[in-house]
Amino acid sequence: MDFRLMGLDSHPVLHSLMDILDETSSDKASHNAPTWCYVRDAKEMAATPADVKEYPNSYLFVIDMPGLKSGDIKVQVEDDNVLVISGERKREEEKEGVKYLRMERRVGKFMRKFVLPENVNTDAVSAICARYESYDHREFFWLEVVIRKITDENGTSPQRYP
């Protein structure tokens, strides 16, 4: 029975059971086929919300980063045209006398990749982690990455974001 079809795949106990089943069945599975854990993690990485805005002289990437600090995030450009944002969400340290009644927030490594247009200056990339605290003391974190455009002598950019 596939619990994912029933909409129960977000339950932490079922996640643990699927992880155990995945580990025990990995010996029998083809070494080329992705495991259920890999597929689940790939979906989670792709589900990290992001907005991309184009300005006259730059591109702005805004990515939700709940529970992360700037030291947990890595921003780099690969192959001169791929923006890679990666990091790891870590579980907070357990305090004595406190126990989890429910644990739903995702922990682990994540990565997002964005193919960049040809008109970006990959030497002019800046990133900042922003934090907002709401009136009820909830914290919201996001990452803002700005990449400057290459402009011609007229000050115009030759290509737009795909």
Q: Do 57 and 112 fall into the same domain?
A: yes
User: What is the per-residue pLDDT across 101-135, written as a single tens digit (0 to 9) for each?
Assistant: 877 766 778 888 999 998 999 988 999 988 777 78
**Strand locations in the chain (E):** 50-54, 58-64, 73-78, 82-89, 108-115, 120-133, 139-149
Q: Do 142 and 89 fall into the same domain?
A: yes
**How high is the pLDDT of residue 57?**
92
**How high is the pLDDT of residue 83?**
94
Q: Which domain range does residue 40 map to?
A: 1-47
Residue 2 has pLDDT above 80, yes or no: no
Q: Do 26 and 90 fall into the same domain?
A: no
Domain end, chosen from 28, 47, 66, is at: 47
Q: Do 96 and 150 fall into the same domain?
A: yes
Q: Do 10 and 69 fall into the same domain?
A: no
**What is the CATH classification number for the domain harbouring 138?**
2.60.40.790
Tokens 């854990």 sit on residue: 37
User: What is the per-residue pLDDT across 13-49, written as a single tens digit (0 to 9) for each?
Assistant: 666 666 666 554 445 555 566 666 656 655 665 567 8
Q: Do 39 and 3 fall into the same domain?
A: yes
Residue 63 has pLDDT above 70, yes or no: yes
Q: Do residues 121 and 151 lie in contact, with contact meaning Cβ atoms separated by under 8 Å?
A: no
* Residues constituting the chain: 162
Going by pLDDT thresholds of 50, 70 and 90, the confidence category of residue 71 is: confident
- On the 0-12 / 13-18 / 19+ scale of CB atoms within 10 A, 105 is exposed
pTM reported for the whole predicted model: 0.61
Q: Do 43 and 55 fall into the same domain?
A: no
